[in-house]
Amino acid sequence: MCFRRVALRQWCILLACALASVTAAADDPKPTPENTIHVQLAEPVKPQAFSRPLKFFLVDVIDRSGSAQPMMVFKPRGGIFLDHTPSDITRAGLETCLKSANMLAADRDSADLLLTVYLFNFGLSDSSGMDFFGKVEFAVTLKNPKTAKSQQITASGTSIAGVAVRKKNIQKNVQEDIERAFADALRNLLRGVKLRDAVAALDVPPDLPAAPAQPPAPPPTTAAGKPPAAG
Amino acid sequence: MKIMALGTLAAVLAGTLPAIAKDPEPQFKSVEAKHFPRAEGVELSPAFSDYLYAELRAELTKAKLFGQVLGEDEVVDAADAPKSLVIVGTITEYKKGSVVKSELIGFGAGMRSLKVDANVARRSDQQNLTAIHVHVKVSPRWDEKIMARAAAKNIVKQLKNSLKAETKPS
């Protein structure tokens, strides 16, 4: 009888835990047309001019943020969601900017430099509570397909926007904040000294013969690093 | 008579409004704020420097002292360099404060405080135009990022004053 009562109690606790977890899961905001925002550049960022006209090809944009819900940018008040993944938005933004300056290669083969973007942060970051702090951060690997040499540069963009009380205004402020941070990050990349230096280091003038992609194998060495003695 | 008066008013408005609406030409074409590194021993979260940088840029944009607020390490034309400023600085001191001290003693005791030193230089010749020292004190209950906001406001205010003093005819 006593054992039966304990078992009943355990079942009740289990049921209560299950119900609590179900309600907690129900509290997670879901994307709807009302709480979804569309982030895009207000106008394309004009890239800097290089010593010779160059063509870039965007190979891939990889999300390295580690976020379980990359499209949710704001959790309270029913949540705010992006309509596309941060990778898609970044790809579209970067391609628009390069296309506007006639720097986007049609395909991989015709490109002077290949770009691979690793996205670390896209959306809102911790703020003081009195404003929204938009932050976009990524690293870009530039690769010269002719020489197979590559370099990595980082870019980041930040923006501050005021808080609001009404949901509609919160959504508007968050959208503007992320758009500004995104534009700032692209500007930091395309007009930055880091890109200029990386391009200067990787670019090979077209009249010079390119170095072979695979260097010849070095002569066999012993474990000590010395070439084996003849005979 | 009424039509004449209205006509005169319209003419006066048409003449003066464009002059009012036109913003004065900024003294400097652009300004670039750098991230402020922390001095040795300053224990602040890594995000603080980013937040201070963002607040500083927001305040510089609001102040309308410069034609453009550039991003960090942005390429500037050599022709524009004499009309461009660079703000560099360091977070020299941060005291976490104490809620107990603040409650028991009061009169500013136990306040959370931040000290920032900044230099404003001309891009072309790296000539130092002004040195800014900011000391911000807030309640120990407040978030550290509120200090960043206050510090950024203070830096821009001091910069505005020094630029005004420089342009005033002696």
pLDDT: which is higher, B43 or B170: B43
Answer positive or negative: Cα dihedral of A50, B67, B84, B82: positive
Instruction: Please report the number of interchain residue pairs, chain A to chain B, with beta-carbon separation below 8 angstroms.
Output: 55
Residues of A in contact with B57 (CB under 8 A): 158, 160
| Lowest-confidence region among A13-22, A39-48, B44-53, B144-153 | A13-22
Contact B148 A128 (CB under 8 A): yes
pLDDT for A26 equals 53
Tell me, what DSSP letter sits at residue B49?
H
**Cβ of A151 under 8 Å from any chain B Cβ?**
no
C-alpha separations of A138 from A96, A153, A184, B71 in Å? 17, 9, 12, 15
pLDDT for B64 equals 86
Q: Using CA atoms, how far apart are residues B80 and B83, in angstroms rounded to an integer?
A: 5
Q: Do B9 and B3 contact (CB within 8 A), yes or no?
A: no
Q: Are strands B28-33 and B84-95 parallel, antiparallel or unpaired?
A: parallel
What mean pLDDT is predicted for residues A50-62? 92
Residue A220 clears pLDDT 60, i.e. is over it: no
Q: Which amino acid is at A195?
A: L
Q: Do A171 and A188 contact (CB within 8 A), yes or no?
A: no
pLDDT for B23 equals 56
pLDDT for A219 equals 45
pLDDT in tens, B93-139: 999 888 888 888 888 788 889 999 999 999 988 888 899 999 999 88
Residues 6+ apart with CB under 8 A from B144: B44, B45, B48, B94, B112, B114
Tell me, what DSSP letter sits at residue A35?
G
Contact B146 A192 (CB under 8 A): no
CATH (one of 3.40.50.11540, 3.40.50.10610, 3.20.20.100, 3.30.70.3000) for B25-167: 3.40.50.10610
**Cβ of A50 under 8 Å from any chain B Cβ?**
no
Among the partner residues B54, B74, B75, nearest to A158 by beta-carbon distance: B54
pLDDT in tens, A106-149: 999 999 999 999 999 999 888 777 888 999 999 999 999 989 99
pLDDT for B169 equals 59
- Delimit the domains of chain B by residue range: 25-167
Residue A181 clears pLDDT 50, i.e. is over it: yes
**Cβ of B121 under 8 Å from any chain A Cβ?**
no
pLDDT for A7 equals 72
**Cβ of A194 under 8 Å from any chain B Cβ?**
yes
Alpha helix stretches (DSSP H) within B22-143: 46-63, 99-104
pLDDT in tens, A156-168: 999 988 888 888 8
| Structure tokens, A186 | 């692209």
pLDDT in tens, B76-90: 888 888 989 999 999
Computed over every residue of chain A, the mean pLDDT equals 82
Residues of B in contact with A131 (CB under 8 A): 149
Task: Please tell me the CATH code under which domain A54-202 is placed.
Answer: 3.40.50.10610
pLDDT in tens, B14-56: 665 555 555 566 778 899 999 999 998 888 888 888 899 999 9
Q: Do A62 and A69 contact (CB within 8 A), yes or no?
A: no
pLDDT in tens, A57-86: 999 999 998 888 888 888 888 889 999 999
Contact A191 B54 (CB under 8 A): no
Q: Do A86 and A119 contact (CB within 8 A), yes or no?
A: yes
